[in-house]
Amino acid sequence: MSGIVKLFHNPNCSKSRATLHLLEEHDIKPQIIEYLIMPLDKSIIENILEKLGKEPRDIMRKNELVYATNKLKNENLSRSQLIEAIIQNPILMERPIVLANNKAAIGRPPESVLKII
């Protein structure tokens, strides 16, 4: 494994904590980005989406109240509008997400991140 490993982390999330623990068990000390405290900008979200090969709605937590409140299920919303919704409401973003070796993985289950390190 080469380079920096980044973990988009929510310490209140059991999957996020388990992913961090799994990385540490493999002697990886990731750069931890607590995205609920330090919100992400458009370029970071675009980078994550590109590396995952997904669209914004694919990384949204659809069970979050803010998803329904903001009517984000609306198929007429543009990609930019969905990204802006994640920026304004970072709780919407699926977690954890790990970036390593110019790839990305969502840690659900946590072991899924091992394929990119």
The residues that are catalytic are: 13
Sheet strand arrangement including 103-106: 31-33, 6-8, 97-100, 103-106
Q: Which residues make Cβ contacts (< 8 Å) with residue 5, sequence separation at least 6?
A: 23, 28, 29, 30, 31, 98, 99, 100, 117
* End-to-end alpha carbon distance in the chain: 6
The answer to whether the CB of 57 falls within 8 A of the CB of 80 is no
Instruction: Find where tokens 């209140």 sit.
Output: 12
